[in-house]
């Protein structure tokens, strides 16, 4: 009898564990299916539109840049070594071509990062281009970003001109050539 009671208690505990875990597990599976369903954004595609407020309190909407200038959207994080290596290159590009091309940093995968830490990062690298803190990382998810840094170069017509994943030498020159700048 005692053995049956122990088995019943174990069965009850196991059942409760599965009941408690199922909603979380199901949500994870739904998120995975959504992410897997997100198509890769390729050169020539129109990327997802997004809006946000930069750390300088300036409203930004990607689609509003169509017809005005190309936009370089850089997905990065303060803790990312390759992102730190890329920042001076993007900053130099923004200083040299900021009147012709908009550079926008989208801080992603940093839900616990405080705004003060971002300002410290901006000050450390003396960044001259706007930064948006995408706390929920929903913009990165819409762009199917799976590694950082990831850079999307958007033409004036609103289509993707180039996609770069990871840090690499010669990035500055590649941007100049891609955008037809001198």
Of the listed 62, 80, 160, 179, which one is catalytic?
80
Question: How many contiguous H segments (helices) and E segments (strands) does the chain have?
Answer: 5, 7
12 is catalytic: no
The half-sphere exposure of 43 on its side-chain side, counting CA atoms within 13 A, is: 5
Distance between CA atoms of residues 75 and 132, nearest Å: 10
Of the listed 73, 77, 83, 94, which one is catalytic?
83
> Is 127 buried (19+), middle (13-18) or exposed (0-12) by CB count in 10 A?
buried
**Helices 115-125 and 81-97: angle between axes, nearest 10 degrees:** 60
80 is catalytic: yes
Catalytic positions are 80, 83
């Amino acid at each position: 009898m005692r053995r049956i009671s122990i088995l019943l208690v174990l069965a009850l505990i196991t059942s409760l564990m599965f009941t408690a875990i199922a909603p979380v597990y199901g949500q994870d599976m739904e998120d995975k299916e959504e992410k897997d369903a997100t198509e890769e954004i390729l050169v020539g595609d129109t990327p997802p539109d997004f809006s946000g407020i930069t750390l300088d309190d300036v409203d930004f909407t990607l689609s509003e840049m169509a017809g005005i200038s190309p936009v370089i959207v850089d997905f990065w994080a303060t803790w990312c070594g390759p992102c730190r290596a890329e920042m001076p290159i993007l900053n130099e590009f923004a200083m040299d071509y900021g009147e012709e091309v908009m550079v926008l940093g989208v801080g992603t995968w940093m839900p616990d990062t405080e705004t003060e830490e971002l300002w410290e990062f901006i000050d450390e690298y003396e960044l001259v281009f706007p930064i948006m803190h995408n706390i929920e990382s929903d913009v990165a998810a819409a762009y199917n970003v799976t590694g950082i840094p990831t850079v999307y170069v958007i033409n004036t017509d609103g289509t993707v001109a180039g996609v770069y994943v990871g840090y690499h030498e010669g990035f500055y020159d590649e941007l100049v050539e891609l955008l037809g700048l001198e």
